[in-house]
């Protein structure tokens, strides 16, 4: 899986106040019906130029500061990606006033954050943007972009390629690593400023980096930490999902009981707290554990996927999301050879790659929707980096990871006429029997999945493989390309979309879950868009336990949380659907990093729609009493 929600039945709601709904399909051809419960559509602004595929889109995250919103433009905007600066002082009529352009071979991601600095080197507002490359085979600077947005209508670039430039052996890298997310924070009453980043190119033991940006024109890395195999022993969750491994995905800074604390979302390892009182020496505090059996869908093991999280304004609670792009779990069975009868669980490549489903298995299973083959033969495709001989009839290609991209492997397997591809892990250090995800595949008509190295050997019918001897030590040789392996079944069952978790702030114990009804229902697994949760923020007012949640195809949700779990209070899906990424409750004219805030009025609810641009809502329903 990767992850999502539910009826609330899918209701055609009455639009309340503000702006009328547009007929354009913001969510693409697949989406849930429009709905409006306790929401006012205040305003919106198109920042895209046309329609795009339902499973991607040119818009990424959104953040805000003062009277301005900053909306990131994603990979499909390359080479013109960056961030739109939008004046929201009149929220019913937002206006784009500037554009902060990224490097032509980079785009902005989830790490959009504005902080106020009052340091000896800089006074004003700083926009922090994490970057990833458009084409990793070509030159790109990596790292962060830092912009002076003290005058938001005229952003000034202060730093590009800001990040970790030191290899584990102490040598200097050619550039900073790719970053999926980042968040800034200040200490010493604003006199010192820092940013926490995810370093996508370092091992898990080194992927939590902290930079001193007190002088944003000359940042300095002050620490590099993380949690490797010794800290995060193999968990059952790491065997499943689109990205089955523990790694640092996101973070939130907060002062908790007087202690500067960073909350890390560490995918299959759950959520981790770091004491950053001294950013040069961050200290582990505690971490959460996913239950062995998923508390919502009952699968064993559960999947994990700690994607993002946010504290309540009083820090008593943490509302967290686990993202899941696939509602199906694969089941494979070897039907011939020395390992006949063995089962295995491949990990499907993420959409838009063609998915194996209960309605359309590759071989075996119920075959709902079409006749199913009982089993299919497999053939070894080597690395699949070069054109392959034609498939000898309906068959599955078994390829080894490495040397070329997953996209190249998939293209060669499809061109040879195979009906599916399975990639097993390489013998490189850190790979071997680890699970892994496969991104960047553009061959949409071919199901692709991945398995640990030992499973690949079993499918190929090679006895004697010893995982303890990988990466060093003796193991059997692989056969020639074209060698027949075992016959296999390859089927899937429904295990739901990604959803929301409630954790106690002091213990990280999980106490409740929120799932939209459609995410529980297999009927919505096909044709309704991606029904996974993405991000969450909480209300900035003291002790007011409201969460503002963005879902891809299931729209915007407002939920109450606390001792009694979750209760949905509001939802919004526009006519034509939505595909939301970012969420940001905000009061005009304020610094959103100053929490809690004493206000009697309600915040705006900003969202970024991947196919449209900026939405501005306001929740109008009942509010819970402040938590004592």
- Provide block-wise average pLDDT over 10 residues at a time, the chain (628 residues): 30 29 42 94 89 64 98 92 97 98 95 95 97 90 97 98 86 89 94 93 83 97 81 52 70 96 92 96 92 90 90 97 89 94 88 80 61 81 96 95 93 95 92 83 85 97 96 95 95 92 96 96 88 97 97 96 97 94 98 94 97 97 91
Which three-class secondary structure string do you get for 183-221? EEEEECCCCEEEEEEECCCCCHHHCEEEEECCCCCCCEE
166 DSSP 8-state letter: B
Residue among 176, 333, 318 nearest 254 (CA):
318
Residue among 543, 95, 94 nearest 317 (CA):
543
Q: What one-character-per-residue DSSP string does 297-320 give?
A: T--SS----EEEEEE-TTSSEEEE
Give me the numbers of helices (H) and strands (E) for the chain, helices first please.
Answer: 3, 37
* Assigned token pair, 507: 């213990």
Q: Which residue spans within 298-381 are E strands per DSSP?
A: 306-311, 317-322, 328-334, 343-344, 347-348, 376-380
* Assigned token pair, 526: 């096909």
Strands 580-586 and 604-609: antiparallel
Output the pLDDT for position 570: 98
Quick check: 617 and 607 in contact, CB under 8 A? yes
Protein fold of 328-494:
Glucose Oxidase; domain 1 (3.50.30)
Sign of CA dihedral 159, 164, 167, 171: positive
Output the pLDDT for position 311: 97
Q: Determine the 3-state secondary structure of 232 from DSSP.
A: coil
Quick check: 425 and 244 in contact, CB under 8 A? no
Quick check: 536 and 309 in contact, CB under 8 A? yes
What gap in Å lies between CA 363 and CA 350, rounded to an integer?
A: 20
* Assigned token pair, 510: 């999980």
165 burial (CB, 10 Å; 0-12 / 13-18 / 19+) is middle
Residue 134 has, within 13 A of its CA and on its CB side, a CA count of: 18
What gap in Å lies between CA 607 and CA 612, rounded to an integer?
A: 11
* Assigned token pair, 118: 């009052």
Name the phi and psi angles at 488, rounded to 5.
-135, 155
Q: Determine the 3-state secondary structure of 453 from DSSP.
A: helix
What gap in Å lies between CA 219 and CA 205, rounded to an integer?
A: 22
Contacts of 110 (CB under 8 A, 6+ apart): 60, 61, 130, 180, 181, 250, 308, 535, 582
Output the pLDDT for position 368: 55
* Assigned token pair, 568: 């949905």
What gap in Å lies between CA 112 and CA 171, rounded to an integer?
A: 30
What residue spans define the domains of the chain? 35-326+495-619, 328-494
What gap in Å lies between CA 624 and CA 344, rounded to an integer?
A: 47
Strand arrangement of the beta sheet that strand 396-400 belongs to: 343-344, 328-334, 484-494, 376-380, 396-400, 420-424, 448-451, 347-348
End-to-end CA distance of the chain: 38
Which homologous superfamily does the CATH classification assign to the domain defined by 35-326+495-619?
Answer: YVTN repeat-like/Quinoprotein amine dehydrogenase (2.130.10.10)
């Amino acid at each position: 899986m990767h992850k999502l929600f539910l009826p609330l039945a899918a209701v055609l709601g009455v639009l309340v106040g503000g702006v009328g709904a547009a007929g354009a399909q913001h969510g693409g051809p697949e989406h849930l019906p429009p709905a409006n419960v306790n929401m006012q559509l205040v305003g919106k602004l198109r920042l895209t130029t046309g329609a795009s595929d339902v499973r991607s889109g040119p818009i990424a995250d959104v953040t805000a500061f003062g009277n301005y919103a900053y909306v990131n433009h994603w990979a499909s905007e390359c080479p013109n990606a960056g961030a739109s600066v939008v004046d929201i002082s009149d929220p019913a009529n937002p206006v784009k006033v500037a554009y902060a352009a990224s490097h032509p071979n980079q785009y902005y991601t989830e790490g959009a954050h504005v902080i106020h600095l009052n340091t000896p080197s800089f006074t004003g507002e700083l926009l922090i943007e994490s970057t990833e490359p458009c084409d990793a085979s070509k030159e790109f600077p990596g790292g962060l972009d830092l912009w002076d947005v003290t005058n938001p209508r005229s952003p000034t670039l202060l730093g590009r390629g800001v990040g970790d430039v030191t290899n584990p052996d102490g040598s200097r890298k050619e550039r900073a690593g790719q970053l999926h997310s980042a968040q800034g924070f200040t200490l010493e009453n604003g006199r010192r400023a820092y940013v926490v980043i995810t370093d996508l190119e370092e091992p898990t033991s080194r992927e939590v980096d902290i930079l001193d940006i007190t002088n944003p024109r000359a940042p300095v890395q002050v620490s590099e930490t993380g949690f490797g195999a010794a800290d995060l022993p193999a968990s059952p969750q790491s065997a499943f999902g689109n990205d089955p491994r523990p790694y640092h995905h996101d973070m939130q800074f907060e002062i908790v009981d007087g202690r500067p604390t960073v909350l890390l979302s560490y995918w299959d390892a759950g959520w981790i707290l770091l004491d950053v009182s001294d950013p040069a020496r961050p200290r582990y505090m505690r971490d959460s554990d996913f239950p062995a059996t998923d508390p919502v869908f009952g699968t064993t093991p559960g999947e994990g996927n700690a994607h993002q999280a946010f504290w309540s304004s009083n820090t008593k609670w943490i509302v967290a999301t686990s993202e899941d792009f696939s509602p199906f779990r694969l089941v494979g069975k070897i039907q011939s050879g020395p390992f006949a009868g063995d089962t295995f669980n491949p990990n499907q490549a993420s959409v838009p790659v063609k998915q194996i489903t209960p309605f359309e298995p590759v071989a075996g299973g119920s075959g709902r929707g079409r006749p199913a083959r009982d089993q299919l033969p497999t053939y070894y495709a080597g690395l699949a980096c070069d054109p392959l001989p034609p498939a000898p009839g309906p068959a599955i290609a078994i390829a080894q990871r490495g040397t070329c991209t997953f996209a190249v492997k998939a293209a060669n397997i499809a061109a040879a006429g195979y009906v599916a591809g399975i990639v097993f892990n390489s013998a490189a250090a850190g790979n071997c029997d680890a699970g892994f995800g496969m991104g960047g595949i553009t061959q949409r008509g071919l199901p692709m999945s991945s398995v640990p190295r030992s499973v690949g050997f079993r499918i190929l019918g090679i006895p004697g493989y010893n995982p303890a001897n990988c990466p060093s030590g003796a193991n059997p040789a692989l056969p020639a390309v074209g060698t027949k392996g075992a016959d296999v079944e390859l089927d899937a069952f429904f295990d739901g979309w990604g959803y929301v978790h409630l954790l106690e702030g002091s213990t990280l114990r999980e106490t409740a879950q929120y799932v939209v009804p459609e995410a529980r229902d297999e009927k919505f697994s096909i044709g309704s868009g991606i029904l996974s949760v993405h991000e969450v923020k909480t209300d900035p007012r003291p002790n007011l336990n409201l969460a503002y949640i963005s879902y891809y195809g299931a729209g915007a949700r407002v939920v109450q949380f606390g001792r009694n779990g979750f209760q949905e209070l509001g939802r919004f899906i526009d006519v034509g659907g939505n595909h939301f990424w970012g969420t940001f409750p905000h009061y005009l004219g304020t610094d959103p990093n100053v929490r809690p805030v004493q206000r009697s009025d309600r915040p705006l609810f900003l969202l970024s729609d991947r196919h449209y641009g900026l939405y501005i809502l306001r929740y109008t329903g009942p509010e819970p009493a402040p938590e004592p």
